[in-house]
Amino acid sequence: MRSFVVKNTLLIILLISTAMQIQAEPLTVISYGGLHVKAQGEAFYKPFEEQTKIKLLTGEYNGEMAKIRSMVDTKNVSWDVVQVETGDLYRGCSEGLFEQIDWSTLKIDEESDYVDGSLSDCGAGFFIWSIVLAYDTHQFKTPPKDWKDFWDIKKFPGKRALRKSPILALEAALLADGVKPADIYTVLATPEGVDRAFKKLDEIKPYIQWWESGSQPMQWLISGNVVMTSAYNGRVYDAQEEGKPVGIVWNDSFYDMDSFAIVKGTKNKEAAERFITLTMQPENQKIYSEVAGYGFSNKKTAALLDKKTLEHLSTAPEHMENAHKLDPDFWIDHGETLQQRFNIWISE
C-alpha cells in the first residue's frame, strides 16, 4: 500500500511538473516592427503575459514568406505566431504554411461583430490599415488631393516615394491615368492594362524613392528627402501626434487588414490560439487603435473610443467614402507575374 501511495505521489508530482513546463513554454510572436511593437506591446503582449503567465518572445521581420516556408519545410518551426498581410495569408494558407483556425472553439464575439474577412481559415484580422498620400505641409500652399496630383511634377515639384512593390504602385498609376476605381482590377488583369500602368509609372520614375519598411516614408518626408509619399496611415498619425509638418490625403486611399496567423507545425498551438483570441477582443483593439492610429476589426471597439481618436482612423466613415479595397485575390492570381515585370522595370 505504501509503495502504491509513493508511486502515485511521484506520478502526480511528475504530471504537475510537466504541466508547469508546458505552461512555462514561451510563445514567439513576430510582427512588422516599428510602431507595431509599441502598440502590440501595450494592447496584446503585456495583457497576454499577465492573464496567461506565458512568456512572450517577440521579434520583427519584413514579411519574408521564404523564412516561414523554410521553417515548415524543414519542420524546424521557431516562430509560433506571425503578422501577415492578406495576400500572404491567403497564399500561405493554401500552401499549408499556416494552421487552420477553428473559430467555433475560440471565445470571441459573433462573426457579425467583425469587419468582413476578419475571421478567415488561417488568420485573425486584428486591425484595418490604409495606404494614404502624405505630404510636407511646408512645401505647398495648395496641398495635393489625389494620385493625379502625385503624378503632377510641374504643380508639385520634388522627389516622391512609393513602396517598392507593384502592389498599389500599379493601382495608383491607373487612377492617376484616369481609370475609374471600380475598373482598376479589370483593367490591370489585361496585358494592355499592365502596359498602361507601367507607362504611367515611367512618367515619374526619375523622381521616385522606393521605400521598403513602413518607417521610411515619414523619415524621408520629415527630413525633406521627399515632398510627398505613400504611407501607412498609422505612421502619418504618429508623426502628426509628434507635431511634425505632415499632411494626409484620405481621398483615393487603399485599405486592407493585417492578420495574425499560426505557423504550421508549432508546438505551442494552444497558447497561440489563446493569444489570437485576446487580440480579437474590443478592449484590446481599443488600446491598439489609440496607440497605433489604425482601425479596428471588432466593431464593438468603436463604442470604447473617443471621438478624436475615431476621426483619425481608417475605419471612420468619412475616410472610407472614397477609399478603395485592395484585392488580395487579384494579387494571388497575378502577383508573381507582375512582381517579375516590376523587378525588371525597376532595375532598368
C-alpha 285: how far from chain center: 14
**What ranges make up the beta strands (E) of the chain?**
27-31, 56-60, 81-85, 123-136, 160-163, 208-211, 228-232, 246-262, 295-296, 324-325
Q: Of 111, 91, 131, which is closest to residue 254 (Cα–Cα)? A: 131
* Cβ atoms of residues 41 and 56 within 8 Å: no
pLDDT of amino acid 317: 81
What CA–CA distances, in Å, run from 346 to 66, 133, 176, 205, 213?
22, 21, 19, 8, 17
Q: How far apart are CA 94 and CA 121, in angstroms?
A: 10
pLDDT of amino acid 321: 86
Q: Among 36-40, 53-57, 289-293, which range has the highest average pLDDT?
A: 53-57
Reported as a pLDDT band with limits 50, 70 and 90, residue 186 is very high
Percent of the chain with pLDDT over 70: 93
pLDDT of amino acid 341: 98
Question: Long-range contacts: 45-53, Cβ < 8 Å, 24+?
Answer: 47/278, 47/284, 48/274, 48/275, 48/278, 51/278, 52/271, 52/274, 53/23
Judge whether residue 8 has pLDDT over 70: no
pLDDT tens, 145-185?
999 999 999 999 999 999 999 999 999 999 999 999 999 99
pLDDT of amino acid 3: 53
The DSSP bridge partners found for residue 136 are: 246
What is the average pLDDT across 99-123? Answer: 94
What pairing do the DSSP bridges indicate for beta strands 160-163 and 208-211?
parallel
pLDDT of amino acid 320: 85
Judge whether residue 17 has pLDDT over 90: no
| C-alpha count within 13 angstroms, C-beta hemisphere, residue 20 | 6
Q: What is the DSSP string of 78-126?
A: ---EEEEEHHHHHHHHHTT-B----GGGS----GGGB-TTSB-SSEEEE
Residue with cell 485576446: 278
What CA–CA distances, in Å, run from 95 to 31, 72, 80, 244, 271?
21, 10, 17, 43, 23
What is the average pLDDT across 125-136? Answer: 96
Residue 69 CB partners (closer than 8 Å, separation 6+) = 95, 97
What pairing do the DSSP bridges indicate for beta strands 228-232 and 324-325?
unpaired
Looking at per-residue pLDDT, the higher value among 132 and 292 belongs to: 132
Please, what is the average pLDDT of the chain? 92
Least confident of 5-19, 86-100, 102-116, 134-148: 5-19
AA letter at 95: E
* Cβ atoms of residues 220 and 161 within 8 Å: yes
pTM score, whole prediction: 0.77
pLDDT tens, 189-242?
999 999 999 999 999 999 999 999 889 999 999 999 999 999 999 899 889 989
Judge whether residue 20 has pLDDT over 60: no
Count of residues for the chain?
348
Phi and psi at residue 82, to the nearest 5°: -130, 145
pLDDT of amino acid 94: 93
